[in-house]
Each structure stands twice: as C-alpha cells, then as structure tokens.
C-alpha cells in the first residue's frame, strides 16, 4: 500500500495536470519579479533552469513544469505577499529584462525609409510580439550594449540573430543584439526562412538613399544545423567546392518550397531568396561558423563564443560597418556598393513614372575593361601574348606595398634597440580624399602629366635623386640616398627606366622637385572621390571601437602608449571587432583585383570577378600607390629633421635603430608636438602606434643565422619569432 507521502505526491501531480490557476497571470509574474528587483537570471539560477525559460513563463508562451513549477509558485506566492499589486496599477504586457550601463554602439545613420509592408496574417501571435516590447534589451557583462534595432520598425530586432537549440527542452531560440531572445517555431529550414521574413523583424536600413536594405542574417550554431538537417562540418570534397551538394535533402526542401540559392550554392555564407516583387526583397542570408564562415585570421575565436555573445559581437560590427555579407573582404567590397549604389530613380517622366538611371559618383551597373597595363597575368586582354612571356615594368603596372630592408650601419649597430612603428589603418588613410576613376580609361600619347587626373602613366623616373629632395615649398634637404627605399618600387629599388605608375606615384616625383615627361597614359576623365564615404564609415567604426577599449583619439603620446598596452585584454570580443574592421579595409581593396579561384579557369579566359563593376585594379593600384607614398613622405621628413633612417619597411611598418625601447626615444616631439608631416603617435588612421621592440643583437643574430643580410626585420619585430618557413629555408 502506498505511503502518505507518495499519495500526496500523486495528488500534486494530478493537480498540476488539471489546475492551471495555481500561478498568477504572466504579466503579474513579471511585475512581482521587478517589484523585488530580481532579474530573470536570478530566478533561473535558483530554479535550476535557463533565463530563456523564465522569459517564456513571463510572456505566457510556455508554462513551468515540475519540479520547477511548484518552487516557482511558492516564490511568486511569497513575492505577492510582500508586494501586493496596487488597485489602479495596470499589469505590464511583456517582459523587460535587466539592463546594464555600457557605452552604446552608434546606430546606423537615419535614412528615409519607405512604409513597412503589412504584417502577415496569422492565427497565432508572432514571437516578436509576445516575447517583449520593441525597447526591451538585455546586456551582457564586459561587452558593449549593442542596441537591438534602429528607428525603422521593420528591423526593430536588429540586423541579425544567432539561432541555437536548447538541448534540455529542445526549444529553438534566436539570439538577437541587445540581449533579445526570440522563440523560433520553425521545424524546417524553409520554415525558418519564412519565419525570418514574416515575423522576426530582422534587417538593417540602407546606408544610402538609392540603396537597398540589408537582408536579415541568421547565424546557425552546430545544434541548429543538426535540428534543420544540415551537416555540422563539411567534408574535404565539400570544403573544396565551397558548398554542400545540390542533391542534399535540405537543398531539395528549399526547392520544393520555391526558395532559390545564388550561384555559389549552399555554402558557409548561403543566400536564400525568391525573386523580388517590386521593391520588396525576399532574401535571407545564412552564416555557418562551423563551416569556417568566420575566418580565424580576422574573427579569432568568434565561432566558439556562446550564441548571445556572438550575436553581440556581430551586431556591433553590423551597426558600425554593415551586416556581414560574407568574408570581411566581401563585406568591404559590398560596403562600397552600399554607399554608392549603381542606379537611382529618375525624375518623373511625362506620365509621372520613374525609371532606373545611373547614380552619379558610382561605378555604374556594368563592368568596364581595364587598361592593358593594369590587367593581371592571364587576363583576356593579354591572350595574344606568348605563353611564358614575362612582362617588364614598361608593360605592366606594379603598385604594391613596401617590402624593403637594408643592412645596419656601424653607428646603428652600436644602438641597443630596434623599434617598430606601425601606421594605423594605413590603406584606409590612403583612400581618404583620393580621386579615382569611375569609368573606362582613355589612351593618350605624349600626355602632359596632371596630378588631379587618375590613371596609369608610362614615365621614366630613374632620374629622381633621393640625395636631394624638396621637403617644403622652398626648402631642399640633403639625404643619404643609400639608406632610403625608392618610393617608386615595392622592393625599394631605384627604377632602371620607363615604367607604369599610378597617378599618386608620379605626383610624388613632382612633389620631390623633379620634372616628369610621360610617354603615354591611360587616364580616366570620369572620376571622383568614390572611396570617401567608405573610408569615413570604416574610420568611425575603428575609432568608436578603440574608444570602447579605452584608447581615445585625443590622448597625449605617453597616454596613448599606456592606453595601447594590453588594450585587447580589456575586452577580447571588442578586440575581435577591431581586427575585423581592419580586415574589411584590406580585404575590400584586395577584392578590387580579385584573381581566378579555380572553377576550371585557363589563362586568357574571363573569370567570374570580371563581370562585376567593382572589379577595378586601377582603384586598388591608386590606393596602394598613395599609401606607399604617404609612408615614404614621413620617412623623408623624419630623415631630414633627425638624420635617422629606417632599417626595414614592410607595408605599413617601419623599423628604426634607437637608443631606447620606446617610439618616444626616436620620434621628434617638442613640447608634446610632433614633427609636421612626420610620424605622429595616435589612434587615428595615418598616425602610428608602437609595433614592437627587439635588440639590435637579435636582429643581427637572425640575419646571420639565416645568412640573409637584408632579411626584413619588420616582419618579426612584434614578437621576435622567426621560423625557417618564414625565411624560405
């Protein structure tokens, strides 16, 4: 016969099944918690459940089950006795989770937004309407409190969500920015896409008036992949192909539901869409970290973060740059187009209708051919060349970043330290204010050089003598040319005759005080400052994130060096955002000259990237040219004023022999003011930071070990680690 306790337990269980009135209404549950100044996390910890479960109890989406139900009822009963509801107080409608005070991420700039389409008719409340009001947010300790959305009600829940599955309850959750968590009812991937477009209210307003709103981004965790029938990892064959097979069951599910995939198929950054109807886009993008969507070179360990933290990291990047469209390189290129859309609506015609027309200042919607000298090897323009022909500098434009080094002088060997300084966002600074071509090139014979006209120029600069250069309007300086790299070649070698150069390189020869006489040129009369908006947005993203990390833009040199010391450890996740912003700059510029990526390509045949209007090797060359010139100008100013010369230069890093271990031991500051036109410490793009310090004995020892007197020490100055693989041994 059952004991008394067993009988009481059975009765309690029966009551739990039939009596649903033992708990207050959901709104009252929230009121009681807030009246006691408790958070959902506090209650979840006591009851041994997840915060999301408590949120669902307070929203009425789910009811607690034993054993939590009895304990939860007792808690609410006790709170009700202590905090009775005032007779005139209306119960709140939904949950407002706890908040914390952090520096907010700047929201995207306000733009004119067309009216949102009516909500889809449904027989049940949408997840977004029952989980919280639009303003509710939840912050995570030690991370910037990213706003959930902007001013557009269509995207009130932010640009993206990380979709995960609760292993205990089997519930699917969508973690949005701002701490919002949505209940996902979708049982299949097609249903998930449909829910995202109809109910999730995810997306980002356009960055430019004629542009397009950003499509919602869903990041799928491994648990979500398993739930929706996708592999957790790609096979070697799938990884090489960059996608899962077209015959995969999930791809077939999408096809049966009339969803389509782009040409790149279902890969780490899949785009699922239906053809647009008028101005309405029906497209959702997926990001799959376990398929290597978040490259560790740029996103570090972001793929291993918990869903809420990953949502906040990517949300910070989206708010400050844009919603990721793929790799950082792809996003960098897409940002250019988002800020300068190729077309816009025309003025109304006689019938009051508007038409699509070219958007001034953009690259247009059709690709243009580059000049033959700007074409990389294998380009269709070079199909007539002999198979193994190697083009000379007089046949090909070679504007690349510095990779130059020299042996130390005897005086430099007596100094104890080698100190590296690195230019912040050097290539972004090179793009700032740069006039680039927008249209096709025009071939000109024996042109007169115009520094304001972008293009490629065939000119002999071998007569430029770096031992005597102009450093100001009426001031010349005598320098040791043997200790300086040439500004005209990536390896720092003096040119031996006529060669092709971008406009900034030729303009710098004129600035140094020498005449130039071009032989021919490919110039672009249709031009503009296409990259200004791109630079400004990436600069602001970089500076805002560095400020969150404690590195402000107005610090004195000593304060700046102190603030930079260990700034990444203050918030590793925000440090990842900094790295991704930098990678967006370099990758976006690299995409302007994207080379073939397999696909059975053969030299002389076109490859996929050539079909883009943003395939513009001339723009990439102009930015790199200006970046290299900017570095050389600072080197020359520094040498003319101090008599100090770099021993190595690698891209945006220069290494100097110094009597002390700090940049302040060799950078000329007077009363806190830097040398005009020289190197200046600071966080802004174009200013420099400390890269690393090693001993002169280390440098000479490394070069002797590898029998390389001109080994580029700038490559290893940061931590001093050199391997055989690095040196090619």
The pLDDT > 70 percentage for the chain reads: 87
Q: Which of the listed residues 527, 555, 575 is the one where a domain comes to its end?
A: 527
120: confidence class by pLDDT, cuts 50, 70, 90: very low
Residue 652 inside a domain? The answer is no
* Closest to 550 measured CA to CA, from 535, 563, 536, 569: 563
Residue 274 inside a domain? The answer is yes
Residue reference for tokens 């979708």: 186
Residue 486 inside a domain? The answer is yes
Listed range (321-325, 381-385, 472-476) with the worst mean pLDDT: 472-476
Average pLDDT over residues 121-144: 33
Listed range (53-67, 123-137, 156-170, 671-685) with the worst mean pLDDT: 123-137
| CB crowding 554-563: b at 16 or more within 10 Å, else e | ebebeebbeb
pLDDT digits (tens, 9 = 90+) for 561-610: 999 999 999 999 999 999 999 999 999 999 999 999 877 899 999 999 99
First to last CA, the chain: 84
CATH of the domain at 36: 1.10.260
Residue 687 inside a domain? The answer is no
User: Tokens representing 84?
Assistant: 């009775």
DSSP of 365-417? SS--PPPGGGSPTT-GGGTTS-TT----TTTSB-----EEE-PPPHHHHTSSE
DSSP of 125-191? --HHHHH--TT-----TTS----S--S-GGGTT-SEEEEEE-TTT--EEEEEGGG-EEEE--SSHHH
Q: Which residue has the higher pLDDT, 81 or 321?
A: 321
Q: How far is CA 179 from CA 309, 352, 715, in A?
A: 9, 46, 41
Listed range (2-16, 42-56, 381-395, 699-713) with the worst mean pLDDT: 2-16
Pair (134, 281) in one structural domain:
yes
Pair (135, 24) in one structural domain:
no
Q: What is the pLDDT of residue 724?
A: 64
95: confidence class by pLDDT, cuts 50, 70, 90: very low
Pair (381, 276) in one structural domain:
no
Pair (143, 288) in one structural domain:
yes
Q: Name, in order, each residue with C-beta under 8 angstroms of 621's C-beta and a sequence gap of 6 or more.
A: 374, 397, 399, 456, 502, 593
Pair (191, 309) in one structural domain:
yes
pLDDT digits (tens, 9 = 90+) for 185-206: 999 999 999 999 999 999 999 9
Residue reference for tokens 């908040």: 99
Q: Is the pLDDT of residue 312 over 50?
A: yes
Pair (166, 308) in one structural domain:
yes
Q: What is the pLDDT of residue 62?
A: 74
Pair (476, 435) in one structural domain:
yes
Average pLDDT over residues 236-256: 95
Q: In angstroms, rounded to a whole number, what is the distance separating the alpha carbons of residues 684 and 554?
A: 9
- Contact predicate 462/495, CB 8 Å: yes
The pLDDT > 90 percentage for the chain reads: 71
Residue 607 inside a domain? The answer is no
Q: What is the pLDDT of residue 39?
A: 83
Q: What is the pLDDT of residue 388?
A: 85
Q: Which of the listed residues 463, 496, 527 is the one where a domain comes to its end?
A: 527
Residue reference for tokens 């096709």: 440
Q: What is the pLDDT of residue 12?
A: 56
Pair (168, 304) in one structural domain:
yes
Residue 79 inside a domain? The answer is yes
Pair (69, 141) in one structural domain:
no
pLDDT digits (tens, 9 = 90+) for 606-623: 999 999 999 999 999 999
Average pLDDT, the chain: 87
- Contact predicate 418/694, CB 8 Å: yes
Q: What is the pLDDT of residue 151?
A: 64
Average pLDDT over residues 422-436: 98
Q: What is the pLDDT of residue 87?
A: 52
226: confidence class by pLDDT, cuts 50, 70, 90: very high
Q: Is the pLDDT of residue 387 over 70?
A: yes
Q: What is the pLDDT of residue 30?
A: 84
Q: In angstroms, rounded to a whole number, what is the distance separating the alpha carbons of residues 492 and 504?
A: 16
Pair (156, 207) in one structural domain:
yes
Average pLDDT over residues 119-143: 33
Q: Is the pLDDT of residue 125 over 70?
A: no
Pair (173, 313) in one structural domain:
yes
Q: Is the pLDDT of residue 133 over 60?
A: no
725: confidence class by pLDDT, cuts 50, 70, 90: low
Task: Give the range of the structural domain holding residue 216, as residue numbers without chain letter.
Answer: 129-323
Q: What is the pLDDT of residue 145?
A: 43
Q: Is the pLDDT of residue 630 over 70?
A: yes
The number of distinct structural domains making up the chain is 3
Residue 649 inside a domain? The answer is no
Residue 266 inside a domain? The answer is yes
Q: Is the pLDDT of residue 413 over 50?
A: yes
Pair (159, 301) in one structural domain:
yes
């Amino acid at each position: 016969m059952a004991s008394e306790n067993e009988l009481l337990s059975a009765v309690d269980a029966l009551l739990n099944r039939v009596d649903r009135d033992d708990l207050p209404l959901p709104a009252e549950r929230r009121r009681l918690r807030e009246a006691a100044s408790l958070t959902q996390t506090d209650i979840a910890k006591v009851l041994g459940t997840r915060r999301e479960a408590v949120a669902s109890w307070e929203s009425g989406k789910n009811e607690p089950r034993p054993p939590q139900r009895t304990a939860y009822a007792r808690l609410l009963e006790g709170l009700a006795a202590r905090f009775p509801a005032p007779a005139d107080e209306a119960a709140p409608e939904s949950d407002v989770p706890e908040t914390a005070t952090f520096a907010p991420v700047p929201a995207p700039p306000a733009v004119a937004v067309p009216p949102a389409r009516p909500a889809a008719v449904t027989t049940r409340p949408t997840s977004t309407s029952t989980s919280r009001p639009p303003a509710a947010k939840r912050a995570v300790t030690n991370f910037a409190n990213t706003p959930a959305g902007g001013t557009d009600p269509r995207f009130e829940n932010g640009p993206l969500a990380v979709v995960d599955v609760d292993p205990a309850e089997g519930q699917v959750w969508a973690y949005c920015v701002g701490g919002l968590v949505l209940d996902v009812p979708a049982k299949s991937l097609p249903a998930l896409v449909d829910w995202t477009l109809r109910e999730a209210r995810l997306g980002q307003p356009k960055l430019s008036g004629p542009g397009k709103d950003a499509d919602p981004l869903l990041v799928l965790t491994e648990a979500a992949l398993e739930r929706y029938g996708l592999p957790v990892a790609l096979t070697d064959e799938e990884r090489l192909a960059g996608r899962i097979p077209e015959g995969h069951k999930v791809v077939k599910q999408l096809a049966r539901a009339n969803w389509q995939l782009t040409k790149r198929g279902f890969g780490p950054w899949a785009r699922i869409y239906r053809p647009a109807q008028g101005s309405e886009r029906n497209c959702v993008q997926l990001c799959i970290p376990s398929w290597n969507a978040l490259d560790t070179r740029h996103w570090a360990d972001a793929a291993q973060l918990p869903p809420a933290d990953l949502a906040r990291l990517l949300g910070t990047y989206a708010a400050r740059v844009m919603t990721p469209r793929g790799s950082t390189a792809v996003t960098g290129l897409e940002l250019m187009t988002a800020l300068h859309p190729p077309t816009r609506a025309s003025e109304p015609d006689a019938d009051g209708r508007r038409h699509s027309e070219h958007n001034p200042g953009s690259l247009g919607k059709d690709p243009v051919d580059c000049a033959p000298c700007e074409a990389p090897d294998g380009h269709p323009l070079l199909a007539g060349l002999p198979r193994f022909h190697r083009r000379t500098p007089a046949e090909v434009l070679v504007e690349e970043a510095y990779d130059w080094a020299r042996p130390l002088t005897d005086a430099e060997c007596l100094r104890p330290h080698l100190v590296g300084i690195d230019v912040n966002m050097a290539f972004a600074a090179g793009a700032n204010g740069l006039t680039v071509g927008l249209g096709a090139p025009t071939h000109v014979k024996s042109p007169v050089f115009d520094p304001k006209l972008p293009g490629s120029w065939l000119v002999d600069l071998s007569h430029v003598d770096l031992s005597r250069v102009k450093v100001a309007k009426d001031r010349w300086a005598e320098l040791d040319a043997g200790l300086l790299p040439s500004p005209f070649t990536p390896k720092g070698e003096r040119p031996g005759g006529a060669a092709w150069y971008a406009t900034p390189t030729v303009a710098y020869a004129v600035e140094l005080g020498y005449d130039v006489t071009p032989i021919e040129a490919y110039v672009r009369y249709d031009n503009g400052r296409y990259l200004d908006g791109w630079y400004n947005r990436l600069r602001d993203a970089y500076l805002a994130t560095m400020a969150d990390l404690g590195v402000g833009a107005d610090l004195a040199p000593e304060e700046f060096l102190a603030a930079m010391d260990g700034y990444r450890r203050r918030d590793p996740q925000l440090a990842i955002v900094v790295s991704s912003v930098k990678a967006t700059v370099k990758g976006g510029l690299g995409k302007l000259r994207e080379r073939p990526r397999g696909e059975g390509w053969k030299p002389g045949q076109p490859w996929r990237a050539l079909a883009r209007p943003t395939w513009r090797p001339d723009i990439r060359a102009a930015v790199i040219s200006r970046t290299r010139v900017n570095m050389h100008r600072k080197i020359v100013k520094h040498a003319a004023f101090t008599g100090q010369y770099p021993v190595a230069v690698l891209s945006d890093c220069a290494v100097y022999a110094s009597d002390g271990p700090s940049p302040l031991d060799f950078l000329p500051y007077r009363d806190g003011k830097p040398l005009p036109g020289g190197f200046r410490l600071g966080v802004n793009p174009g200013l420099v930071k400390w890269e690393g310090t090693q001993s002169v004995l280390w440098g000479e020892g490394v070069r002797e070990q590898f029998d390389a007197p001109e080994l580029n020490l700038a490559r290893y100055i940061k931590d001093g680690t050199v391997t055989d693989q690095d040196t090619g041994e």
